[in-house]
Amino acid sequence: LEEVHSHLLEGRVENHFGKTTLSAPNWYQTLIFPGVFGRSSALDHVANKVESVDEAYVIYNFMLSVRRHGMSLDSFKLVTHRRRRQKKCFSKHCPAFNIQEELIIDTATAERRVIAAKEELSISEFYTSVLSILHHSVSLVEGSTISKIFCYGLGNYTQCVSARYQLALLLLLKQHTTAKVFVYDPVFTALECQLISSFGCQLLPLNEEGKHTIDKDEVTLAYLPHCSKQLINNFLWANWGLGLKDCIIFGNSFSKIIDTQLKSILNSSARYILDIFPYTEELSIANSFKYTDIFNDLAISVFPIKKLSSVKRDFWVSRENPKYCDSDTEFITAKLVSALNL
């Protein structure tokens, strides 16, 4: 992504791989095609209407079409607005999007902000409660410790406050568990990739779309805060069977996903979540952090062997690779990443 759209990635990209709460990203809203469309053009109008990753396919397809016809993507320009720093929110608990910061321009500033978020989070009541719930979840899967953590869809944490605190929690969990941490997000900039490595995490080379099969008898944490139900669904599919006993998922609450979606939608885009839910132990995470939109609606889900052993014999037989319509895909697919790197 960075190679093809480096001019886009320099702006604020706050919507990222798999996030379910999507508002119109600035880099969609500010695309301009000089001399042809202009700011009042059809393209500018469409770009301002984009509110989700699947709608962004329209923009991507247009850009790819431009390239196929021998035109340069350099004609596009990202317009950014320098915003003043806002040092405090209006109340003790408020959304993180109230915080306004200057654009990151150097490694030291980016690293300092992550470390500051980590230190702030480490002394919070929220972090204490997360550790307590995590310890309980490990006991439910009858494991001694978490050996690996896989994180997908973190987002542009140098620009997005929510993503930064989610990274801070990941680093605290890494420190607490001493687990090996693997991270992937196709929207990471070169600076963000560099920092991820400097924090002792390993960047995954390919877009697995969440379809990672864990090692046998090794307790593995899938860290997916606010990622789409389809990424969670993919992870469940990859580990479908009694091997789920060693999986811990830190992500959106299964019960809330099921309660807020039509069953017809769940059958097509989250079938594995729907099927495994009766055999899931869900531990809710209280949203007690001072920013209300960073860790809301999350839970830790585990699959105790006693519950998994109670399913019917044919329960695990049907294991079709999840397929989603392009118009209904809520994450950046490997196919799209490949297309953008042509």
- Express each pLDDT in 207-217 by its tens digit: 899 999 999 88
pLDDT at 24: 37
pLDDT at 43: 46
Mean pLDDT of 93-113: 69
In the 3-class helix/strand/coil scheme, how is 262-315 assigned residue by residue?
A: CHHHHHHHCHHHHHHHHHCEEEECCCCCCECCCCCCEEEEECCHHHHCCCCHHH
**Crossing angle of the two packed helices 53-68 and 42-49, in degrees rounded to 10:** 150
Q: Over the stretch 268-281, which tens digit does the pLDDT of each residue have?
A: 889 999 999 999 99
Angstrom CA distances, 255 to 135, 276, 290, stand at 21, 11, 24
Res 222 pLDDT > 70: yes
pLDDT at 191: 92
Amino acid found at 1: L
| Most trustworthy range by pLDDT among 44-58, 142-156, 232-246 | 232-246
End-to-end CA distance of the chain: 10
Count CA within 13 A, CB hemisphere, residue 15: 21
pLDDT at 339: 72
Q: How does the average pLDDT of the chain come out, rounded? A: 77
**What tokens does 304 get?**
């105790």
pLDDT at 23: 38
- The reported pTM is 0.73
Spatial distance between the Cα atoms of 60 and 58, rounded to a whole number of angstroms: 6
Residues 6+ apart with CB under 8 A from 31: 43, 44, 47, 59, 76, 77, 78
DSSP code string of 4-55: T-HHHHTS-----TTBSS----HHHHTEE-TTTT-TTSHHHHHHHH--SHHH
